[in-house]
Structure 1
Amino acid sequence: MMGQFVITLREGFEAVLLVAILVAYLRRSGRAGEIKFAYYGALGAIVAGAIIAAGVLKIYGGLQGDGKELFEGLAAYLAVAVLTYMIIWMTGKDVKRDIESRAEKKFAWGIALIAFIFVVREVIETVLFLTPFAAQNAVETATGATLGIATSLALSIAILRFEYRLSLRKFFYVTGVLLAFIASGLLGYGTHELIEVAEESGYESWLFEKAYDLGIDATNLLHHKGAVGSIFAVLFGYSASMEYLRVFLQFGYLGLTLLLITRKFRASGT
């Protein structure tokens, strides 16, 4: 549930913040009459996102056996790819300046389009990120997502209404690092599912063998499916056992992504 919470907190906060900055800019620049178009665009994005989510769930619900494992593995890989792009793109970015430059010469339905693009991107990303989690536990995913959205709305309102001083640059850096761990776990999970599909199809490789096994029973709280271990599994990609291929990809990805995030963050501060 924690991973789902962090993802929706980050994505929800980003979506609300982007629209709020756009609205504030329109109000300050004497274009208050165009604010409604920003809301139209945001609402349209939410509707589009809901349709996409329903489509993904329908496709997944109709799959069985190897088809489900293949879908879960590929969905995890797709989520990691988009998540990585989003993390690196947002790290160190001057969000406020970027939005104002886009809105400077746009009017009416152009503003609606800007808001739509801002929000629909976050909604689609959220759907992609949550799909692998939903495949494992739909209830926890729904709960974590709901709490994340509620918290992101409260945080955004607090920042905008009471003008709390929060460095957006540092916020996106810290959450980016945390999301890098979550993404590495998703990559590991997806790799595990694809390994199972490959083995069931008759493929064999030493890379599919266990690199380690902690010997923790599935009923143990510290197992990656246990009450305690599952939290670390989602947040840090922890698993009681891993195949060689999973170890190489998961930890190689984590090291490289953390290096890129840190370098970009430091470069943006100069």
Structure 2
Amino acid sequence: MLANYLIGLREGLEAALIVTILVAYVVKIGRKDVLPRIWAGVGLAVLLALAIGALLTYGTYGLSFAAQETIGGLLSIAATGLVTWMVFWMLRTARTLSSHLRGSIDKSLLGSGIGLVVAFIAVGREGIETALFLWAAVQATGETTLPLLGAFLGIVTAAGLGWLIYSGMLRINLTKFFTWTGGILIVVAAGVLSYGVHDLQEAGVLPGLHSIAFDVSAAIPPDSWYGTLLKGTLNFSPATTWLELLVCVAYVGTTLTFFARAVHRGRTRTTSTEDLPDTVLASA
């Protein structure tokens, strides 16, 4: 549940910040006529995310076991790729997101659908990533209620934070926020990737299903509270094949190395541009 709360919070906060910037800027320049198109774009994006979630949930019914496992494995790997891309994208653009969006609006505001399109793309992207990652998490843990509840609470929290930022009641150091949550999500994504590999092994697409690297089920029973906690937060599996272990270690080692370098470059870069919370508040 904690991992899914973090996904909902991070993805939701990204979408909330983008919408906040759009709303604050069009209000500031006296173009309130664009607001209905912005909110229409948000609504359509939410419907798209729900539709994709329903398709992922019910679209595999009636397929063979091998087909279901193959689809599940490929989608888990895709979810890992999307989350990884999202982590690096926000780390790179957090400081300049506000000016970038405002520049896009300035160039295209004469277009009748700009508010709808920008909001739809921004929120839709986050919604699709959330739906795919949640589906992979549900498949990995075998739970439905807790992952969805965790994500819902995260999104509600993000919406509340977005409103507080817009109203000027809250200032957040988003660089630190996205740095810490990015590092945690890389570890969480490694568990989803490992589960995807296991699915492909069960489907016969990848070899080594019975080549076990370690099995700590006796020390960490899957049905124990701590086994459930590790499964729900890190997608930890007490019985792991060698291929799962190698892929997981390679992913974490490589991704965290590049992530640490990106964080270091961001810290040494000139900070003449204001942080996102300040630009949001200045635009309101």
- Is the structural similarity TM-score above 0.5? yes
Report if aligned partners of 2:65, 2:203 keep a CA contact under 8 Å in 1.
no
Report if aligned partners of 2:3, 2:234 keep a CA contact under 8 Å in 1.
no
Alignment correspondent of 2:230: 232
Q: Give the aligned CA root-mean-square deviation in angstroms.
A: 2.0
Report if aligned partners of 2:73, 2:195 keep a CA contact under 8 Å in 1.
yes
Aligned pair in 2 of structure 1 residues 232, 224: CA closer, same or farther (>3 Å)? same
Cα deviation for residue 118 of structure 1 reads 0.4
Alignment correspondent of 1:145: 151
Counterpart AA for 2:170: Y
Instruction: Give distance in 1, aligned partners of 2:52 and 2:238.
Output: 34
Report if aligned partners of 1:38, 1:114 keep a CA contact under 8 Å in 2.
yes
Instruction: Give distance in 1, aligned partners of 2:37 and 2:148.
Output: 30
Report if aligned partners of 1:181, 1:235 keep a CA contact under 8 Å in 2.
no
Cα deviation for residue 250 of structure 1 reads 0.5
Instruction: Give distance in 1, aligned partners of 2:45 and 2:217.
Output: 47
TM-score, length-scaled by structure 1: 0.89
Cα deviation for residue 204 of structure 1 reads 5.2
Greater relative contact order (CA < 8 Å, ≥ 6 in sequence): 2
List aligned pairs for 1:83-94, cutoff 5 A: 83-93=83-93, 94=95
Aligned residues with identical type, % of pairs:
30
Q: What is the count of residue pairs matched by the alignment?
A: 262
Instruction: Give distance in 1, aligned partners of 2:33 and 2:65.
Output: 54
Query: Residue 134 of structure 1: which of 126, 134, 138 is its match?
Result: 138
Cα deviation for residue 182 of structure 1 reads 0.8
Report if aligned partners of 1:88, 1:261 keep a CA contact under 8 Å in 2.
yes
Report if aligned partners of 1:69, 1:193 keep a CA contact under 8 Å in 2.
yes
TM-score, length-scaled by structure 2: 0.85
Alignment correspondent of 1:189: 195
Report if aligned partners of 2:216, 2:238 keep a CA contact under 8 Å in 1.
yes
Instruction: Give distance in 2, aligned partners of 1:82 and 1:210.
Output: 28
Report if aligned partners of 2:108, 2:114 keep a CA contact under 8 Å in 1.
yes
Query: Residue 256 of structure 1: which of 254, 257, 260 is its match?
Result: 254
1:61-119 CA-to-partner distances (Å, cap 9, x unmatched) read: 33342222222211111101111111111113222222222222222311210111001
Report if aligned partners of 2:211, 2:241 keep a CA contact under 8 Å in 1.
yes
List aligned pairs for 1:41-56, cutoff 5 A: 41-56=41-56
1:19-56 CA-to-partner distances (Å, cap 9, x unmatched) read: 11111111122222212211111111112222222222
Query: Residue 170 of structure 1: which of 176, 185, 204 is its match?
Result: 176
- SS class of match (1:60): coil
